[in-house]
């Protein structure tokens, strides 16, 4: 049996990573820089080059790469196949041009400083690739992924990720003295067949199997099972793609893309998000730990010159190429600064090239240090340029954003409706009558199916979870309507809205008078008891049927409505002042709004007994 010490041996590095993150990231955010820089700086400090609190960064990197995998899954969830197809010009046109031109220029520079031709080729390709994790993290922090420049930047990153597989296949062929075996052609054919079969398997399962799978699990009502199933899908697709010779990140992206149309996408995103955030931060810290400060000191002159050349050179090339593909100079510059760093795949390609004998170890270490330094300095450069651009807003950018808001369903939802029961369905009918398409959240599978007949944007998810509300667009909504039927749940959601989404007006369904007073204390913008208005209308119609003139009946109903509202707000204020009847645990008794004209009459012995009148 393992000793107690062996069980806790993993705790020191975990505590080291957590402590470094909670210190460095807030400091960098406080001074207006990206959280990515905080993680990188923390990695440098705790790494072997400074404090040496973590001795083997490579082991950490293996685990931390899962953060990139989960990041690509979430990005896939936010895209649709139709939208991805509409980006084909940017993916295969701009993406290919960026990689080819940048690799050619950087490879030529490496050749000029004395690298061999094969080493120069590897250097050019490795540094031409950009840091997917850093770029997407910064786009997420700026909320710019759906902007025109964000979409072009993502298209370039997607092509780079797609190109990694053929690049890894090319590197062994460049190795000097490599003999081509007789069965190599057949082996390559088998490998290609396995790759195609793996992709087909992911597509078929994702297309026909995942929605029924999640629907069955959703009926269990277990949040933990849904979280475990989300991780199972992501990591399973990633592992299958890796076994087929593709990257894990591409497998996760493909799985996310196939679930982009699913009703469960927001719940999946909310379940995966915490793991993605932690592991991605760990990945950035592992990059910081990989920087060899001794080598930097030894080659400081070359690295001091090379790092700015790479950053400025890639920025200029991407800006110009983006302009050729229809971007404005401003958009091109934003893409250029975002993608000016070397990428995480440099740490994959360089060891492969070294092992194949394409470049000596010392040159590979130098390029690795250069890549890590650009990943450290690039976000600083991008943040400074972004601040300069923000100080001079461009009208064209706002026009592009307005156009995008009209095209993207997520961003164009002005109203978020939580709950699609009887009450929520009627609310949506009224909104649809004025062509207002709300986004609906419900965790009942049958209601999700019912909403499909309305043509609504509805997603399976728990409306009491802050991460689900954010994923569904609560931060962009003008109004959030809470239409669920459980008082405790309604209060919890109202509290979350009040604390986290102050710009959204809160329209909330109340159960009864006591519940309405509680909601008013929370600070909702509008509340309505679920049976109040229907009872008012019912009573008005009863008066009319009894012979009261319609105008008089309407006046009576309006008088009751006004009196009720006045008393409701009075009860709220009395409660705030410490009124006894509104103390926690006390009950608000129903009271007449109009003074009774006579004494109540009990018409049966049982009733008289209840009212305490005794026997006649």
Query: pLDDT tens-digit profile of 569-614?
Result: 777 776 544 333 433 334 455 555 555 555 655 545 555 555 565 5
Neighbours of 455 (CB within 10 A): 9
Residues ≥6 apart with Cβ < 8 Å to 248: 65, 66, 69, 238, 239, 241, 242
- For residue 592, what is the DSSP state? -
Q: Is 339 helix (H, G, I), strand (E, B) or coil?
A: coil
- Which residues, listed in sequence order, are joined to residue 458 by a DSSP beta bridge? 440
CA distances from 51 to 43, 285, 612 (A): 10, 14, 81
Q: What is the mean pLDDT of residues 340-362?
A: 77
Query: pLDDT tens-digit profile of 88-99?
Result: 788 888 888 989
Question: Given a cut of 70, is residue 185 above it in pLDDT?
Answer: no
Residues ≥6 apart with Cβ < 8 Å to 343: 126, 129, 130, 131, 132, 160, 371
How many angstroms separate the CA atoms of 494 and 506, rounded?
Answer: 7
Range in 174-188, 343-357, 501-515 the model is least confident about: 174-188
Share of the chain above pLDDT 70, in %: 77
Neighbours of 403 (CB within 10 A): 11
Q: What is the mean pLDDT of residues 506-526?
A: 84
Q: State the pTM of this model.
A: 0.55
How many angstroms separate the CA atoms of 375 and 341, rounded?
Answer: 5
Query: pLDDT tens-digit profile of 62-91?
Result: 677 777 777 777 777 766 666 667 777 888
Query: pLDDT tens-digit profile of 300-321?
Result: 888 888 889 989 999 999 999 9
Residues 514, 488: contact at Cβ < 8 Å? no
How many angstroms separate the CA atoms of 287 and 247, rounded?
Answer: 19
Query: pLDDT tens-digit profile of 5-23?
Result: 555 556 777 788 888 888 8
According to the model, what pLDDT value does residue 364 have?
80
The number of angstroms, rounded, from the C-alpha of 450 to the middle of its chain's C-alpha atoms is 26
According to the model, what pLDDT value does residue 317 have?
92
The number of angstroms, rounded, from the C-alpha of 259 to the middle of its chain's C-alpha atoms is 14
Confidence band, pLDDT 50/70/90 cuts, at residue 57: low
- Which residues, listed in sequence order, are joined to residue 417 by a DSSP beta bridge? 440, 481
């Amino acid at each position: 049996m393992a000793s107690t010490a062996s069980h806790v041996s993993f705790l020191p590095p975990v505590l080291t990573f957590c402590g470094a993150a909670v210190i460095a990231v807030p400091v960098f955010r406080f001074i207006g820089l990206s959280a990515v820089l905080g993680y990188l700086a923390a990695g440098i400090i705790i790494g072997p080059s400074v404090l040496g609190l973590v001795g083997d960064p490579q082991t950490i990197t293996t685990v931390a790469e899962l953060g990139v995998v989960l990041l690509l899954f979430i990005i896939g969830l936010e895209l649709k196949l139709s939208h991805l197809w509409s980006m084909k010009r940017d993916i295969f046109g701009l993406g290919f041009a960026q990689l080819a031109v940048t690799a050619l220029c950087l490879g030529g520079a490496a050749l000029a400083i004395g690298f061999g031709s094969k080493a120069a080729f590897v250097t050019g390709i490795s540094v031409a690739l950009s840091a997917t994790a850093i770029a997407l993290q910064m786009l997420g922090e700026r909320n710019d992924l759906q902007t025109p420049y964000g979409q072009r930047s993502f298209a370039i990153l997607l092509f780079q990720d797609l190109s990694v597989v053929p690049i890894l296949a090319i590197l062994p062929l460049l190795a000097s003295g490599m003999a081509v075996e007789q069965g190599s052609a057949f082996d390559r054919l088998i490998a290609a067949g396995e790759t195609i079969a793996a992709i087909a398997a992911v597509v078929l399962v994702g297309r026909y199997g995942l929605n029924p799978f999640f629907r069955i699990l959703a009926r269990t009502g277990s949040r933990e099972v849904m979280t475990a199933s989300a991780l199972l899908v992501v990591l399973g697709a990633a592992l299958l793609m890796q076994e087929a010779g593709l990257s894990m990140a591409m497998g996760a992206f493909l799985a996310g893309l196939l679930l982009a149309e699913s009703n469960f996408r927001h719940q999946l995103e909310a379940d995966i998000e915490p793991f993605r955030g932690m592991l991605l931060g760990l990945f950035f810290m592992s990059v910081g730990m990989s920087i060899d400060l001794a080598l930097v000191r030894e080659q400081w002159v070359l690295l001091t010159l090379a790092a700015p050349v790479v950053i400025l050179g890639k920025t200029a090339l991407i800006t110009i190429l983006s302009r050729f593909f229809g971007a404005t100079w401003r958009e091109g510059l934003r893409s250029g600064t975002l993608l000016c760093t070397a990428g995480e795949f440099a740490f994959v390609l360089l060891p492969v090239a070294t092992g194949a004998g394409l470049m000596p170890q010392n040159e590979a270490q130098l390029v690795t240090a250069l890549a890590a330094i650009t990943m450290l300095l690039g976000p600083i450069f991008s943040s400074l340029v972004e601040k300069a651009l923000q100080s001079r807003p461009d009208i064209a950018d706002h026009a592009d954003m307005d156009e995008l808001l009209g095209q993207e369903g997520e961003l164009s939802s002005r109203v978020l409706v939580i709950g699609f029961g009887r009450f929520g369905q009627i609310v949506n009918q009224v909104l649809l009558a004025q062509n207002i398409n709300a986004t609906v959240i419900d965790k009942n599978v049958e209601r999700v199916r019912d909403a499909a007949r309305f043509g609504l944007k509805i997603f399976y998810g728990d409306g009491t979870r802050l991460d689900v509300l954010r994923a569904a667009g609560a931060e962009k909504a003008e109004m959030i309507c809470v239409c669920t039927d459980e008082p405790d749940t309604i209060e919890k959601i109202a509290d979350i809205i009040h604390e986290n989404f102050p710009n959204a007006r809160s329209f909330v369904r109340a159960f009864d008078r006591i519940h309405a007073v509680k909601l008013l204390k929370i600070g909702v913008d509008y509340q309505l008891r679920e049976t109040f208005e229907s009872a008012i209308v019912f009573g008005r119609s009863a008066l009319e049927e009894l012979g009261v003139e319609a105008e008089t009946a309407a006046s009576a109903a309006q008088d009751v409505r006004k009196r009720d509202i006045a008393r409701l707000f009075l009860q709220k204020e009395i409660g705030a002042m410490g009124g006894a009847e509104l103390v926690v645990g006390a009950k608000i008794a129903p009271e007449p709004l109009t003074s009774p004209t006579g004494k109540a009459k009990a018409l049966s012995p049982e009733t008289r007994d209840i009212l305490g009148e005794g026997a006649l």
